[in-house]
Amino acid sequence: FLFIFFSFLYIFPFQEFIFIVLILKMALIFFILILSHLVGMSHAQLKVGFYGKTCPEAENIVTNVVRQVAASTQNIAPVLLRLHFHDCFVQGCDGSILLENGEIGERHAFGHQGVQGFDVIERAKQEIEKVCPGIVSCADIVALAARDAVVVANGPSYEVETGRRDGLISNLTLAANMPDVSESIQILKAKFSQKGLSEKDLVVLSAAHTIGTTACFFMTQRLYDFVPGGGSDPSIDPSFLPELMAACPRNGDVNARLSMDRGSSEEFDNNILQNVRSGFAVLRSDASLYEDVDTRNIVDSYFGIFSPFLGTSFEDDFANAMVKMGRIDVLTGKQGKIRSVCSTF
C-alpha cells in the first residue's frame, strides 16, 4: 500500500493525487456495498439445513409428529400435502392459510373448502417452541410436514429447503384465483405458469391425487350437468360411469367421499396417471391432463417401454416439483416474521 501511495505521489501532482484517492475511496465503498448486498441476499435465500445450527432438532420433531398422527389418522398424508399446496398458491408459501382471523381469514375462502391439517402444524409448532422458541417459521413446518406425509404414504423422500418466514396478511379474497377441479387445462396451465411452474409440474403435482379422497360436491357437475351439452362428461369411460354415479347419486349427500385414485388410493404411486390415460380419472381436472397435447405427452412419458431407462422417474419429477412449489413467493431474511402460534398474528 505504501509503495502504491508514494508511486502515485511521484507521478501525479498533489491535487490530482487527492482526486484519484477520492475516486478509489468511492470505488471501494461501492464495492463494499455491493458485497454486503450479495451477502445479505445469500442469507435471505432458502437452503437445505437452514436450522442446522439454530434449531437442529426441528425437522426430526416435525417428522415424529406427522408419524404419530398418521398412526391414528388414516387420511393425514393427503391432508398435509393439500395444505402445503393451498398455502403456496395464495401469496406464496408463507403460512397465511394457517391464520384464524375471523370470517375474512384466508382459510375460509371458497377455494380452500375441505382444507385441514391445521392442528397437526400447530402441534409440531408447540413441540418446536419448547426446544427453540422464535426460530422456526410455521411456513417451514407446513413444507416439512408435506414431505413427511408423502413418505408416510410410501412416496419419495426429498430434501426440503427451509428459511421461510411467516406472512402478515390473511384475507379470503386473496384466494379467489386458486386452481379449481372444474377448470379447463388451458386455465390450469396458465395458473401454474403464473407461479413459475411448468407443464410437467402441473402433471406431477396433480398426480398427488394418487392419495386421498374428494367430496361428491366436486363431482356433481361432471356427472350430471357437464358443460357443454349437459349429462355426463364424455371423457369418463362408460364402464366407470355407473361406479361414480353409485358413489355420488344425483341429489345425494354432497359430503360423501370417494377415492381420487381408483384402485390405489392409499399408496403414493403413478397409478392415477394410468387412470387418466384409460378414462378412469375421478376429477375433471385430472382427466383434462389427457386433452392437451403437451400434458398428454408428459403423462405418456412415464409409461413407455424405455421410460425406466430414459429421463427422470415420476418420483423424481414429483420431488423436484414440490421443491419448486415450495419456493413460490417466499418471505425470507427480514421479511415477514416468525409466529409463536401459527393460527394468530
CATH of 58-175 among 1.20.140.10, 1.10.520.10, 3.10.20.30, 1.10.12.10: 1.10.520.10
179 marked among binding-site residues: yes
The Cα 173–Cα 185 span in angstroms is 24
Strand partners, 47: 162
23-36 tens-digit pLDDT: 555 555 454 444 44
On whether the pTM is more than 0.95, the answer is no
- At residue 13 the predicted structure's pLDDT band, cuts being 50, 70 and 90, is low
Does 4 have pLDDT greater than 90? Answer: no
DSSP 8-state assignment for residue 202? H
The Cα 202–Cα 199 span in angstroms is 5
Mean pLDDT lowest among 27-36, 77-86, 287-296: 27-36
253 marked among binding-site residues: no
Does 193 have pLDDT greater than 50? Answer: yes
300 marked among binding-site residues: no
Please report the beta strands in the chain, taking only residues with DSSP state E, as ranges in sequence order. Answer: 47-48, 161-162, 213-215, 257-259
pLDDT recorded at residue 16: 53
pLDDT recorded at residue 20: 55
56-76 tens-digit pLDDT: 999 999 999 999 999 999 899
pLDDT recorded at residue 22: 52
Place of cell 392459510: 97
The Cα 140–Cα 339 span in angstroms is 11
Packing angle, helices 199-206 and 185-194, rounded to 10 = 110
Angle at 94 (CA atoms; ends 76, 64), nearest 5 degrees: 35
Q: Residue 62 corresponds to which amino acid?
A: V
pLDDT recorded at residue 15: 53
Just give the CATH number of 185-324: 1.10.420.10
242-261 tens-digit pLDDT: 999 999 999 999 999 999 99
Mean pLDDT across 176-200: 96
The Cα 146–Cα 161 span in angstroms is 12
Does 167 have pLDDT greater than 60? Answer: yes
| Residue 50 near residue 162, CB atoms below 8 Å | yes
209 marked among binding-site residues: yes
pLDDT recorded at residue 312: 77
112 is catalytic: no
Q: pLDDT > 90: what percent of the chain?
A: 79
Q: Which of 58, 49, 56 shows the shortest CA–CA distance to 128?
A: 58
pLDDT recorded at residue 5: 42
Strand partners, 231: 225
The Cα 321–Cα 184 span in angstroms is 21
Domain ranges of the chain: 58-175, 185-324
* SS3 assignment, position 337: strand
Mean pLDDT across 220-224: 95
Q: Residue 44 corresponds to which amino acid?
A: A
pLDDT recorded at residue 230: 86
Q: Catalytic pick from 84, 86, 108, 112?
A: 86
The Cα 50–Cα 136 span in angstroms is 10
| Residue 298 near residue 199, CB atoms below 8 Å | yes
90-148 tens-digit pLDDT: 999 999 999 998 889 999 999 998 899 999 999 999 999 999 999 999 999 999 999 99
The answer, yes or no, to whether the previous bond of 242 is cis (omega within 30 of 0) is: no
* SS3 assignment, position 162: strand
- At residue 18 the predicted structure's pLDDT band, cuts being 50, 70 and 90, is low
Grid coordinates belonging to 299: 403423462
90 marked among binding-site residues: yes
- At residue 215 the predicted structure's pLDDT band, cuts being 50, 70 and 90, is very high
The Cα 344–Cα 98 span in angstroms is 8
Q: What is the DSSP string of 214-282?
A: EEGGGTHHHHHB-TTTSBS-TTS-TTTHHHHHHHS-TTS-TT-EEESSTT-TTS-SSHHHHHHHHT--S
